[in-house]
Amino acid sequence: MEGVLNVIIKLTTGDMRNIASTGHSQADDFSNVYNQVANLADDLAMSGMQGMAGPALSAKAAELRQQVHQHSETAKEKFLAVSGFADRTDEAEHERQSRIFSIQSL
Angle at 31 between CA 27 and CA 37, to 5 degrees: 145
pLDDT (tens place) for every residue of the chain, 106 residues total = 566 667 777 899 999 999 999 999 999 999 999 999 999 999 999 998 889 999 999 999 999 999 999 999 999 999 999 999 999 999 999 999 999 988 888 7
Provide DSSP, 33-90. HHHHHHHHHHHHHHHS--TTHHHHHHHHHHHHHHHHHHHHHHHHHHHHHHHHHHHHHH
